[in-house]
A and B are shown apart, each in its own frame.
Chain A
């Protein structure tokens, strides 16, 4: 698979998992790694960039042991971006299925 294409998909997945619930860095990597074949060390830079672009915001949550944990929370711009991604992805997949002869729901 084209690496740029894959990167785009991972970015979309990162936004989608954080949209479901606020997560800390390791949790995002772990969740993605369980679901899809992903180069785990590329996730944190994506997470950081998305925060820099305003799709996520961060806050600190105290932990029982050690330093407080940094959580990522999706912003309004992030939700808009996710919707945009979802539309594009749905259109793209239905097109692919049409060509391949399958069914996309």
Chain B
């Protein structure tokens, strides 16, 4: 909790006009006040109440300590953009009869805000802030010019990818241990999605293309310190994959091939990495995992729905959020998953890829509504 508190405080102070040394000094002061309060036996909630939330603490500094000011350049350009867009739209429409695609000029309103915001961010966050702009421009450009809406939507995955890279930089700045494999595991989710969709779309390899998702647990295992355990666990996954492919293609029955995955599951249970307990706290998540696996393989084998039903696995993180996440913001936390389901369903069943990407807009909308 202290780590998150200081990280949030740093993020807010990054938007203030002050020297780096001053910012570090403030962070260090809050860090030692936090430690002193812990030492005195205060609970973390009480400490945050005392020191103020990061937003309140930063606000108090700004009010009290006059030479610290919130910096925000480019506000005028953002304010002018709606008027300039309307003028440009009418000129294009009345004089050149280009109502379509003249409407695109309205995209310059959010784009300007994004670019200005990006310039207001510290250098390291520049790319993260700019990534929605880059992704949207590339997506619309390729979509309108070449009519390849799918799988160009994958370009939107650069947003969380840049976010993950940047968040690990922030952890590093806080002096935390830099977990390279942790970062690679988080990034591998997106690499796997891109590879899976490309394999499915262009080579119709939805099955066994889903096997690329195994890169996620493999990278996770690489962070394991015990070398023998590492080798055994990775080998068991690779043997299971080989068995799955061999039986699947040889006997034309992937269902029997899937039995090979009992090997890594068994190894996981033996090494205590997969635990079956019936404590109430994780019961919902465990049931979801079990149901997701059963539904995915049953529907895949019976009706060949490998290409669509992978989304059933999204229920696992969703159930974890519902069980353990902060109740106050659970809709915001769930919104990326809901957006992905809406997006993929509209695209997959109705070929509405060019419209369905807008589902992702619900993420910032829920974020803003929740903040208010």
Contacts and interface: CB of A to CB of B under 8 A. Distances in A.
A49 B28 CA distance: 16
A101 interface: no
Interface string B26-53: 1011111101110110000000011110
A66 B64 CA distance: 29
Given A24-B32, A29-B33, A48-B26, A40 B51 contact: yes
A21 B57 CA distance: 26
A52 B33 CA distance: 19
Contact of A29 (B31, B39, B50, B63): B50
Contact of A41 (B29, B36, B56): B56
B61 interface: yes
B25 to A, nearest CB: 9
A42 B29 CA distance: 14
A27 B33 CA distance: 9
A19 interface: no
Contact of B50 (A27, A41, A48): A41
B60 interface: yes
B227 to A, nearest CB: 34
Contact of B36 (A26, A42, A52): A26
Given A41-B52, A41-B56, A41-B57, A25 B29 contact: yes
Contacts of B28: 67, 70
A83 to B, nearest CB: 23
Interface string A28-47: 01100100000011101110
Contact of B32 (A25, A46, A48): A25
Contacts of A30: 40
B65 interface: yes
A26 B65 contact: no
Dominant secondary structure at the B interface: helix
Contact of A26 (B26, B37, B61): B37
Contacts of A52: 65, 67
A70 B56 contact: no
A48 B61 contact: yes
A69 interface: yes
B37 A42 contact: no
Contacts of B35: 66-67
A70 B50 contact: no
Contacts of A42: 60, 64
B50 A25 contact: no
A48 B51 contact: no
A42 B30 CA distance: 13
Given A41-B51, A41-B52, A44-B51, A25 B33 contact: yes
A45 B37 contact: no
Contacts of B49: 40
B24 to A, nearest CB: 13
B10 to A, nearest CB: 16
A59 B31 CA distance: 17
B32 to A, nearest CB: 6
B65 A49 contact: yes
Contacts of A70: 28-29, 32
A26 B57 contact: no
A48 B65 contact: yes
Contacts of B29: 25, 44, 48, 70
B55 to A, nearest CB: 11
23 contacts: A26-B33, A26-B36, A27-B36, A30-B40, A40-B51, A41-B50, A41-B51, A41-B57, A41-B60, A42-B64, A44-B51, A45-B63, A48-B26, A48-B61, A49-B65, A52-B67, A66-B32, A67-B28, A67-B31, A67-B32, A67-B35, A69-B36, A70-B32
Given A24-B32, A25-B29, A66-B32, 9 more contacts: A25-B36, A26-B36, A40-B50, A41-B60, A42-B60, A45-B60, A45-B61, A45-B64, A70-B29
